[in-house]
Amino acid sequence: MSLTPLAGMKKENIIALCNKVSYKKLSPGRQLFREGDKDRKTVWVTAGLVELREGDRTVAMIRGGSPESLTPLGGMQLPRKMSARAVDEIEFLVVDTEMLDVMITWDKTGTYEVADLRHVVGGPDAGADDDWMTTLLSSNAFQKIPPTSIQAIFLRMQRTAYRAGETIIKQGDEGDFFYAIVSGKCIVTRETPLNKNGFKLAELGPGDSFGEEALIAEAKRNATVTMATDGVLMRLAKADFRELMNEPLVHCVDEKQAHELIAGGGRWLDVRLPSEFQTMSIENSINIPLYFIRLKLNTLDAGKPYVICCDTGRRSAAAAFILVEKGFEAYVLQGGLNNNMKSLQLRRSA
């Protein structure tokens, strides 16, 4: 599927999304949506001609099947900045914008949701049961959390014993806890349409943690984690994680603060898909899709602050957590591009 922003999504996620997309028709002269609407619907025209208007001015004529029709009509920002009217009978696809954004974020949060916290403390006992906390605290993520929050994190964590073969999180489930391994080993697997049993992605041990990305992005689990041996895990409930870990790590800035960071040598980092970026982007921004962030960290300058943007801020928050965890200075554009259209200098495709 080449529709923006669906291009590049994993096949299984596109199939799941297709079950949520509605196919509709509209007769000539009828309004598809109006300027100022807050209907939270993303629309693509597949056949027929649509007129887009801003006030009394026609700004575009979009015909189904044309390259322009691959982009959502009028964009995804709300309230709508223009009206859409069927010139002749049209056919179109429509999906809930909020659900679409969640599914894109889920799809693009990486291969698996594991924080790569393999920092060796040193000594023959590193990684032993009594050293798991030291290993976890040595990560960049925990070093940036206020001491009072760290104390609260460990006070609120629940210590739970698990048996070998027991499933901790299951792919497709809602995110509920953040986990840290005290003792034992876990196996991370991912199911695909061609491999229902799942293939192994990683093996985790004491001091490693997992489960954070689904909590940040408000998405479903994109991998399964199973105990390979008997062991003990500490888990932090979603609400506590967002209050004590996510919020201190993911810092939001408004448009004015963002420009101050850029003026001071920072860079705009757009984590949307290339097709979304090419359609509309901030001048002089760089584009690294969220699903490439872990692979492209070596292309970023650790000495510069980054202001991360996407449509709504959801994908940006997931990316910022990953960057901060790896030692970068990263901020999220509050409200995303959708809520900063007028104040930002945007480059649009012809």
Structure-model confidence comparison of residues 169 and 198, the more confident one: 169
pLDDT in tens, 170-189: 988 988 999 989 899 999 98
Res 284 pLDDT > 80:
yes
| pLDDT at position 169 | 93
Res 298 pLDDT > 70:
yes
Q: Where are the alpha helices (DSSP H) in the chain?
A: 11-18, 97-108, 132-137, 140-143, 147-156, 212-217, 238-241, 247-249, 255-263, 274-279, 314-325
Indicate the pairing of strand 251-253 with strand 329-333: parallel
Structure tokens at 22: 């509605």
- Secondary structure string (H, E, C) spanning 158-190: EEEEECCCCEEECCCCECCEEEEEEECCEEEEE
Q: How does residue 144 score in pLDDT terms, banded at 50, 70 and 90?
A: low
Classify domain 11-104 at the CATH superfamily level.
Jelly Rolls (2.60.120.10)
| pLDDT at position 328 | 92
Neighbouring-strand partners of residue 202? 188
| pLDDT at position 107 | 64
Q: How crowded is residue 130: how many other Cβ atoms within 10 Å of its Cβ?
A: 10
Res 28 pLDDT > 90:
yes
| pLDDT at position 29 | 95
Rounded to whole angstroms, how far apart are CA atoms 151 and 133?
12
Res 14 pLDDT > 60:
yes
Residue with tokens 């070093």: 143
Structure-model confidence comparison of residues 345 and 223, the more confident one: 223
The domain 109-248 is placed in CATH, from the list 3.40.50.150, 3.20.20.80, 2.60.120.10, 3.50.50.60, at 2.60.120.10
For 200, how many CA atoms within 13 A lie in the half-sphere containing its CB? 8
Residue with tokens 């901030």: 282
Rounded to whole angstroms, how far apart are CA atoms 33 and 82?
8
Please compute the mean of the pLDDT values over residues 187-199 and round it to a whole number.
79
Q: Where are the domains of the chain?
A: 11-104, 109-248, 250-348
pTM of the model: 0.59
| pLDDT at position 63 | 96
Alpha-carbon dihedral angle through residues 336, 341, 344, 345, given to the nearest 10 degrees: 130
The dihedral sign for the CA sequence 106, 107, 113, 118: negative
Q: Are 273 and 289 in contact (CB under 8 A)?
A: yes
Least confident stretch, 29-33, 234-238, 336-340? 336-340
| pLDDT at position 100 | 77
- Of 288, 265, 272, 262, the C-alpha closest to 345 is 262
Contacts 24+ apart (CB under 8 A), 23-29: 23/91, 23/92, 23/93, 24/91, 24/92, 24/93, 24/94, 25/89, 25/90, 25/91, 25/92, 26/86, 26/89, 26/90, 26/92, 27/86, 27/89, 28/86, 28/87, 28/88, 28/89, 29/85, 29/86
Rounded to whole angstroms, how far apart are CA atoms 114 and 203?
10
Q: How does residue 227 score in pLDDT terms, banded at 50, 70 and 90?
A: very high
Res 119 pLDDT > 50:
no
| pLDDT at position 33 | 94
Q: Are 60 and 74 in contact (CB under 8 A)?
A: no
DSSP state of 229: S
Please compute the mean of the pLDDT values over residues 226-244 and round it to a whole number.
90
Rounded to whole angstroms, how far apart are CA atoms 229 and 282?
49
In percent, the amount of the chain with pLDDT more than 70 equals 82
Which CATH number does 250-348 carry? Answer: 3.40.250.10
Q: How does residue 133 score in pLDDT terms, banded at 50, 70 and 90?
A: low
pLDDT in tens, 68-78: 999 999 887 77
- Of 278, 293, 335, the C-alpha closest to 306 is 293
Structure tokens at 222: 């994109």
Res 258 pLDDT > 80:
yes
Q: Are 219 and 213 in contact (CB under 8 A)?
A: yes
* Type of residue at 260: E
Fold equal for 11-104 and 109-248: yes
| pLDDT at position 90 | 95
